[in-house]
Structure 1
Amino acid sequence: MTTTRITDSSDNTTDVDVVIVGLGPTGATAANLLGQRGIRTAVIERDLTVFPRQRAIASDEDAHRVWQGLGLFDEMLTTMSTDVRIHLKHGNRTFLSMTSTDSFDQGVPGMAFYHQPELERVLREGIARFSTVSILSGVEAVALTQDSESATLTLRPVDGGPDRQITSKFVIAADGGSSSVRKMLGIALPGKHIQEQWFDIQLRAWYDLPVGAPLDFTFISDPERPGVDCPCPMGYHRVEFRVNKGETVEQLQTEDGLRGLLAERGIDYDKVEVFRSWGYTFHIRQAETWSRGRVFLAGDAAHIMPPFAGQGVSSGVRDAANLCWKIDAVLTAGADPDLLRSYEAERRPNVVALTRFSLGIGRMVMLRNNSAASVRDGLVAGAAKVPGVSPWLRGMGLKPRYTLGTKGGYFGGTERRRSPRGSFVKQPWVVGSDLTPILLDTILGNNWTWVGFPSSPIPPMLADAGVGEVKLHSASDLATHSVPSGHYVDSEGVLEKQMRKARANAFLVRPDRFIFASDREMTEEDYRRVTDVVVSGVRSVRCRLGDSA
């Protein structure tokens, strides 16, 4: 695929507006987000086809809401399982079971398990909807230069051939933990390398799960051999084991080694098909900075998490969602590029919190002492029976909820008690004039939106700038079943409760569904700042889902 050189309106010669390096879940999500917004984008990918190994198996509500906004989640669901139970087991005793259905009112499943190649297939097919996005496969980035106007990557075909260059205004490096772009920038990736080796087996059973049956993800919390056991959709099964002293990956990959390991989990080697097996060690690392000049790191290129909480893919999707609307604002609305500095400030605190959470799970699973493990089992099982604690513990209340860092972030007002700034606006089903329930994000689009009750209509300055408005009512506001055109009823009171907690009657919602500020916090300066980054409502409508122009 060749690149056509284009001259933009500012007379800066660039091939595209954005280059994405890497076409894994993070890069593919970013490509869809930019394509949806009409941004000229090129994706650089070394491999010619989807990587066949099942590296990730899970995603959560934060990623699902992004994929929903891209119009891809319904197709993803056809090969996903969202009915997931999580167990911690020691010997024959399960000392804790949790459900993953709660999405904290985000309107999507709280967790899904999948076969990663299928997930990537849907994301790549989604990119094909947008004529502004091209994929350059079979090439790798080998050099990078940048100045105050653009960044230029040198690309080299992996199968031989002459180098070529591509120039863009911004680069998103989504090329994984060993990111070549990060290394070119000289950005360090400090952290820890865990020496303990683990061994994974990806297999497929010669039987299907009963229709509608939940998937049971089990942490094997046994000091003798900790691990993970996870049936996956489409008949796939993923089993993980710690490599014990005296064992080697090479020995475990023999037929005898595989038979023995699978037998430990009660799996008959002769009744499954082993696709792949591999050894690995895991890392806990975060880049010293997530950007340099016009280049931004995302996903594993910026942060590598321990595997125990299954947050790798979702964290990369969070990165892409946070970054892409800001790039859109700079390119399309002429926003100050300083807006992009808020990317790391907003995202890093969540990565830190999830890393700690994942490490906590790992420590609980990988206890090496049988006496300590017995004490753990009793304490956790006892806590799960305590009224008030049990629903929180069994409903995955341990996981940190996704909020953005507000220090250095792009938000209005000032920090105050009960401020909703940096939190997701919740996504209920709302009812419009046709009395058909729809999810809130369906009407939010990709632009800034004022979501408010009648007592707090959109300020004229925001309306004049192109900020959208969702005119909200509670079920008690309307005496009849007639809903005025352009108005919506929050029949279950989800948003009403969120606003009441914030002592507000309206939220100004950013394109990534996070609350900029409530009506009680907004100042005249905030109104001015927002008008400088709002993308034209006309363009936002033109580039809605499925429009490739």
Structure 2
Amino acid sequence: MGEETMKPRVSQTDFDVIQIGYGPVSKFSALLLDRLGWRVGVFERFGEIFPLPRAVCIDHEIFRVMHAGGLGPIADRVTEPAPVYRWFNAEWQELISIDWTAGSVSGGTEVNFVHQPSLERELDAEAKRRTNIALHFEQECMAITQHDDHVVVRIRDTATGAERDHTARYVIGIDGANSFVRETLGITRSDLGFEADWLVVDFVLNDGLTARDLGLIECGQYCNPERPTTIVPGGIENGQICRRWEFMRLPHETREEMVETAKVQELLGDWIKPEQGRLVRHALYTFRSLVADRWRDGRILLAGDAAHVMPPFMGQGMCAGLRDVWNLGWKLDSVLSGAADPALLDTYQAERLPHVTDIIKASMFLGSIICIPDKDAAAERDRMFLSGEAPPPPPFPILTDGFLARDAQGAVLAPAGELSPHGTVRLNRRTGRFDTLVAPGLVLILTRELTLADLDPASRRTLERLGATVVTVAGRTCATDGEVADTQGQILPFMRERGLNAMLVRPDLYLFGGAADAAGLDRVLAELDRQARQVGLLATDDVPEPHMAASA
């Protein structure tokens, strides 16, 4: 993603992008587009930010994306590293242990917990400081009309009833699971087959109390068929520790019964007493697994819950939405600036839909472990896990389609689609995050085994036309000032494990491709040239030489 710059404007539209909805994904999207220099109009039918917690997790990729998108200080302030995620049966025997404290490919812990209202307040305050973002509350979207070069959005003031048209070059529907934008476009959703009702309860502990003091597991699932229960951190609000419980509704219980105060107190009674803190809220949610069948309709795109909803057992609901707009942001930037054809936006669904579908299926797999109210079925589950016969959770998905290096038959070539490694590095006698010291955008990472001089002239021209940054990574003790010193040992081991001496990293931090030698890198860059031309990314030859990070 590029630094904030001035972009060419279409004078006949009110905004470059209109966003419908103002949840966390919309806030993040607006801030990213503002940073890229685009005018964003946000329309939200409610009058204020939703004040209660919902999401509680930010994984390592989203933590990294926030830093790369200029929102690192906010991410640092509102998150805390997650403990080990442990699953127990009714007798408290451990079924699964997922070590979220272990290092990740992004250079930090796998997962961080977050207090969503605190995150949203920070993002909202930042959005209100940005001159390119126009926020409109109590403004409901009533209709959307597309034209060849713009979109007209009819907005109704919910206080006065007055209606007004606003125009933009593109519209993003980020308006939740019941998306008006999606329904207006007649976009259907595929149901992957999971549905369960859970009561979500948020509780703030009294000052000085911790989960350990109360004898609670720090983070896990209690897979007791008598009452499947989730117990996780809820982040920190104004210095106070928040905890979350989620209780599955059993077949004999009604939805109305689950939200009664007496029922909530009964369910909490086994875990915590009213005098030990403050009940923040409780709500019954129906966890489902739905994916929109189309994510783009001309100049209108879907993101977040408007495009997909999933069970919460991987903590990926909000993360998936933030991935949507991170993927979409650099592509919209290229199209709005004229550096790419709108065809580039077709890669958005191609990349995001399979990825989020795989995440939903993984969440469903975990859900199938805990959501068992039958004692005999739970006993068989326990036997399989305790004997080691149960299948392991599927690996976290990578991109499998879209703007990725391919072979002559069109198959995606490994390691294309993987998230690139990241960590603390040293460059030109400065130590910091890789994404802070190396210019964002298209980045070619080389080991000392390869140089630009080893490449064909056509490969060098491709890098030149795309304005790629080229860096050489070396070991912590031997790197020169002009090389990236892999001080955290994140980058070189990743490359060695895959037999790589070159990685081509896209603006959204995923690998377009990689190679072991100059010939392989020439083939990857030839494929980059081919695909880039298909979507107009190589619009002109009048561009600068590829810039080495050492001379930046």
- Quote the residue 1:506 is aligned against: 502
- Quote the residue 2:220 is aligned against: 218
Contact 1:76/1:122 (<8 A) preserved: no
Residue type of the alignment partner of 1:299 = G
Identity of aligned residues (%): 28
CA deviation after TM superposition for structure 1 residue 277, in Å: 1.6
Q: 1:10 to 1:62 in 2, by over 3 A?
A: closer
Output aligned runs, 1:295-306, within 5 Å.
Answer: 295-306=300-311
CA deviation after TM superposition for structure 1 residue 259, in Å: 2.4
CA deviation after TM superposition for structure 1 residue 81, in Å: 2.3
Q: 1:118 to 1:11 in 2, by over 3 A?
A: closer
Q: 1:279 to 1:110 in 2, by over 3 A?
A: same
Residue type of the alignment partner of 1:516 = F
- Quote the residue 1:60 is aligned against: 59
- Quote the residue 2:189 is aligned against: 189
CA deviation after TM superposition for structure 1 residue 175, in Å: 0.5
- What SS does the aligned partner of 1:74 have? helix
Structure 1, unaligned runs of 5 or more: 1-7, 542-549
- Distance in structure 2 (CA, Å) of the matches to 1:72 and 1:136: 22
- Distance in structure 1 (CA, Å) of the matches to 2:377 and 2:33: 50
- Distance in structure 2 (CA, Å) of the matches to 1:85 and 1:268: 25
- Quote the residue 2:550 is aligned against: none
Q: 1:370 to 1:329 in 2, by over 3 A?
A: same
Q: 1:460 to 1:244 in 2, by over 3 A?
A: closer
- Distance in structure 1 (CA, Å) of the matches to 2:282 and 2:208: 21
Further displaced range: 348-357 or 312-321: 348-357
- Quote the residue 1:30 is aligned against: 29
- Distance in structure 2 (CA, Å) of the matches to 1:345 and 1:158: 37
- Quote the residue 1:403 is aligned against: 398
Contact 1:413/1:523 (<8 A) preserved: no
Pair 1:244-2:237 in alignment: no
Output aligned runs, 1:162-173, within 5 Å.
Answer: 162-173=162-173
Q: 1:85 to 1:134 in 2, by over 3 A?
A: same
Further displaced range: 413-422 or 308-317: 413-422
- Quote the residue 1:144 is aligned against: 144
- Distance in structure 2 (CA, Å) of the matches to 1:446 and 1:454: 22
- What SS does the aligned partner of 2:469 have? strand
Q: 1:418 to 1:477 in 2, by over 3 A?
A: farther
Residue type of the alignment partner of 1:69 = A
Pair 1:83-2:87 in alignment: no
Q: Find the partner of 2:434 among 440, 444, 450.
A: 440
- Quote the residue 1:16 is aligned against: 15
CA deviation after TM superposition for structure 1 residue 80, in Å: 2.3
CA deviation after TM superposition for structure 1 residue 255, in Å: 4.1
Q: 1:254 to 1:518 in 2, by over 3 A?
A: closer
CA deviation after TM superposition for structure 1 residue 316, in Å: 0.3
- Distance in structure 2 (CA, Å) of the matches to 1:422 and 1:433: 30
Q: 1:11 to 1:130 in 2, by over 3 A?
A: closer
Contact 1:425/1:514 (<8 A) preserved: yes
Output aligned runs, 1:272-291, within 5 Å.
Answer: 272-291=277-296
| Superposition RMSD in Å | 3.0
- Quote the residue 2:444 is aligned against: 450
Residue type of the alignment partner of 1:505 = N
- Distance in structure 1 (CA, Å) of the matches to 2:290 and 2:211: 40
Q: Find the partner of 1:518 among 498, 514, 517.
A: 514
- Distance in structure 2 (CA, Å) of the matches to 1:33 and 1:11: 19
Pair 1:424-2:428 in alignment: no
CA deviation after TM superposition for structure 1 residue 295, in Å: 0.5
- Quote the residue 1:159 is aligned against: 159
Normalising to structure 1: TM-score of the pair? Answer: 0.85
- Quote the residue 1:324 is aligned against: 329
CA deviation after TM superposition for structure 1 residue 344, in Å: 0.6
Normalising to structure 2: TM-score of the pair? Answer: 0.85
- What SS does the aligned partner of 2:98 have? strand
Q: Find the partner of 1:259 among 260, 265, 270.
A: 265
- Distance in structure 2 (CA, Å) of the matches to 1:253 and 1:266: 18
CA deviation after TM superposition for structure 1 residue 147, in Å: 1.6
Q: 1:453 to 1:211 in 2, by over 3 A?
A: farther
CA deviation after TM superposition for structure 1 residue 470, in Å: 3.8
* CA deviation map 1:422-457 (0-9, x unaligned): 1121113221121x4322222343321222124433
CA deviation after TM superposition for structure 1 residue 421, in Å: 1.0
Structure scoring higher RCO (CA < 8 A, sep ≥ 6) equals: 1
Q: Find the partner of 1:412 among 401, 405, 411.
A: 405
Residue type of the alignment partner of 1:347 = R
Pair 1:271-2:270 in alignment: no
Contact 2:196/2:286 (<8 A) preserved: yes
Further displaced range: 103-112 or 423-432: 103-112
- Quote the residue 2:456 is aligned against: none
- Quote the residue 2:98 is aligned against: 98
CA deviation after TM superposition for structure 1 residue 324, in Å: 0.8
- Distance in structure 2 (CA, Å) of the matches to 1:349 and 1:260: 41
Structure 2, unaligned runs of 5 or more: 1-6, 453-458, 548-552
Further displaced range: 71-80 or 198-207: 71-80
- Distance in structure 1 (CA, Å) of the matches to 2:412 and 2:45: 48
- What SS does the aligned partner of 2:376 have? helix
Contact 1:218/1:229 (<8 A) preserved: yes
CA deviation after TM superposition for structure 1 residue 338, in Å: 0.4
- Distance in structure 1 (CA, Å) of the matches to 2:359 and 2:26: 21
CA deviation after TM superposition for structure 1 residue 26, in Å: 1.3
- Quote the residue 2:455 is aligned against: none
- Distance in structure 1 (CA, Å) of the matches to 2:233 and 2:477: 47
- Quote the residue 2:354 is aligned against: 349
- What SS does the aligned partner of 2:93 have? strand
CA deviation after TM superposition for structure 1 residue 412, in Å: 3.3
Further displaced range: 265-274 or 410-419: 410-419
- Distance in structure 2 (CA, Å) of the matches to 1:14 and 1:255: 50
Contact 1:88/1:218 (<8 A) preserved: yes
CA deviation after TM superposition for structure 1 residue 274, in Å: 1.6
CA deviation after TM superposition for structure 1 residue 198, in Å: 2.2
CA deviation after TM superposition for structure 1 residue 14, in Å: 0.9
CA deviation after TM superposition for structure 1 residue 165, in Å: 1.3
CA deviation after TM superposition for structure 1 residue 245, in Å: 4.3
